[in-house]
């Protein structure tokens, strides 16, 4: 859950806005046509942590963009690795979807 919150913060650092899936039905057809789903993965290995965030068109299911952040402290600190990977993926998201 901690990583999920940090990833949501990373998405909010871009021009994207988060919408609860319960509220999708309240959106206009025009708003739904601009909607992206987010799927993310966190892979924590001893030597490296990798975070991927995939953006998928809501109506078509087609991939739109994929952002990846990787970081390593050479196994000294897994928590530092994941923080570094999240910072890198946040930077990539902000560059892909600038404000």
Domain ranges of the chain: 2-96
**Where do the DSSP E strands lie in the chain?**
36-44, 49-57, 63-71
At 1, is the pLDDT very low, low, confident or very high (cuts 50, 70, 90)?
Answer: low
- Give me the CATH code for the 2-96 domain, please: 3.30.160
Task: Please tell me what DSSP assigns to residue 75.
Answer: T
Is residue 44 pLDDT above 80, yes or no?
yes
Say what the pTM is: 0.85
Contact 48, 70 (CB under 8 A): yes
Predicted confidence (pLDDT) per residue in 63-94, tens digit: 999 999 999 887 788 788 888 999 999 999 99
Distance CA 97, CA 99 (A): 7
């Amino acid at each position: 859950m901690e990583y999920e919150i940090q990833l949501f913060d990373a998405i909010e650092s871009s021009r994207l806005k988060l919408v609860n899936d319960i509220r999708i039905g309240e959106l206009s057809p025009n708003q739904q046509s601009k909607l992206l789903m987010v799927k993310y993965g966190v892979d924590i290995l001893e030597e490296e942590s990798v975070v991927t965030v995939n953006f998928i068109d809501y109506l078509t299911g087609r991939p739109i963009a994929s952002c990846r952040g990787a970081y390593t402290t050479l196994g000294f600190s897994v928590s530092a690795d994941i923080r570094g990977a999240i910072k890198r993926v946040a930077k990539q998201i902000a560059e892909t979807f600038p404000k």
